[in-house]
Structure 1
Amino acid sequence: MRFRLLQHRDSEGVRSVIAARDDRATLVPGVTSVRELALDAIAKGQTLAEAVAARGEGAEVDLAAELAAGRLLAPIDHEDSAHLVMTGTGLTHLGSAEGRDKMHREAAAAEKQTDSMRMFLEGVEGGKPAAGQVGQQPEWFYKGDGSQLVGPGGQLTMPDFAQDGGEEPELAGIYLIGPDGTPHRLGLCLANEFSDHVTERHNYLWLAHSKLRQASLGAELLVGDAPTDVRGASRILRDGAVIWEKPFLSGEENMSHTLANLEHHHFKYANFRRPGDIHVHFFGTATLSFSDGVRTEPGDVFEIEAAPFTLPLRNALVRADAAVVEVKAL
């Protein structure tokens, strides 16, 4: 059975963990972070559901009220932000049938396929291998460490040199590396993998630059079997009015790769299996306002929602002040 875990900080700065099933949410006694709860579960050979059940139930919580009050945090973090790694994969989603057919027609007609098109088609062909086998590796990118992670309601800050600050509505997998180096998937989050699409479009070799940005997570960590068909909506509000809105799809039914294949190609690198580390891995999207010609502005608010998550993810866009970095020789 699926349930959700959330992290909470009260008005006095005291942290707690919340477990939610359907419309009922209660505090989890004796634990102050999801990472602490997960480490205890691994040590005792328990699932997260068993670890929560063993601790009993605390006071009931009104999640909508706590979100509105700004007391819900990102559902995962690490006390040392250098030990939280944010990464992602792209060209992993099929998009609509019309878009997919269009891509194939253009690929067949093109004299020479772009690297992006080749990677997409290779994923369609080999991204869903049989159980126990390794499929085609995806596009992969690094976003930053835990200092770049923004929670629900927080501001997404584009650098002063950024050419764009665009939303990417998607799912993110949350992982904890166990003491023996085994990656454990804790669950999935609703996410905004914030990127600079103008920089990426200028030259695909600048993809790495375009992805070194903040990213945000919704308040809920969905624990249990991963849903295979996730349907939601992504919108942008400007001065309180919706200027762009579009549905988005995720889950394996709407992807060219399995989660297991994406996970293998990330965690096959030994340096990503360091005990105690947290990994936030973004699985990609096929829905962008940038593709529809939208140019975001500071003050815009990104809003993403999708079942089975019950709370929306909202973040306002701001631009950082200009700064010149000087390196001093010693």
Structure 2
Amino acid sequence: GITTTYDINLNLDYILTLNSSYYDIYFSLFDLNLHAIDPNLYEFRLNGTIQDFGLITDLQTDDYAITVVDRFGTSLFDDVITLRGLNEYRIEIVLYELQIKHLARENSDLVLIEDVTLNIYTFIMTPDSIKLIMVGSSDYTLEWTNGENGVMTSISIVLTDDRVVMLNTSYYDIYFSLFDLNLHNIDLNQYEFRLNGTIQDFGLIIDLQTDDYAITVVDRFGTSLFNSIITLRDLNEYRIDITLYELQIRHLATENSNLILTEDISGNDYLFIMTPDSIKLIVIGFADYTLNWTNGENGFTTSIPIALTTDRVVMLDTTYHDVYFS
């Protein structure tokens, strides 16, 4: 609606150009903290109208109100700028990088809340992943529901600088060893080890979850060697101390013999054969036992009661004997 008057002294051919009052400008977004940013994550308005960054055509007035907010509505830029006569306008903002390192071994649900607007951003993080969120300075609350155990944790974040938040796994690893307080050499394969009732191998066990575990160890007869509830979290190694006794059987018979060692309460048996002049070492827990020996020399069976409260040697003598005849 603006009227313009032109004075023309026409004594030659004359070209009068009536230029458009509209103009075009290229708008770019720049973070003064030099982070690489995705313009699509920020809301850009001219005089209240949402626009895309890049070339905007047919601007009409000289001055425009420019606003930029992040995904939470936090103001990053708010000013009235004279744009006429410019080809490009760079909108300078200040952003901070919130880096979330998710070390949990199951998928987790997360909610990032801006404390003033209460606007939220929900997302899922996979195991050993990193999430980068570029937002303005503000106070936030990160709500993390750990997929490992379902526990929800709230983390307060005052974002005035770049920030790293570590979401650690609730799982942990421990090395389990077995030690005999009587200092016998022991074969780990001869003992049954359970955590919360589940059979395990001694050594490194990974992905433990709860703080406390019921630890049990029994020998080949089912005799309890260790039975206790132990707090394991924050430990790297746990040594299971047990008390064992050595039953040494010396077989002096000159023929193979069949033997059965029975634990008197459980009735559990251990069957084995002994060759002539051999020694059998059995390292087991305190209990009362019965050794049934079927002598290969004569077929007779002998029962030997054994109260194993200390190391013990049992001699199985030959029935053969030598006589000198003259």
For Structure 1 versus Structure 2, the TM-score category normalised by the shorter chain is under 0.3
Query: Which structure's residues are more often strand, by fraction?
Result: 2
Query: Which structure's residues are more often helix, by fraction?
Result: 1
TM-score normalised by the chain length of structure 1: 0.17
Higher alpha-carbon Rg: 2
TM-score normalised by the chain length of structure 2: 0.17
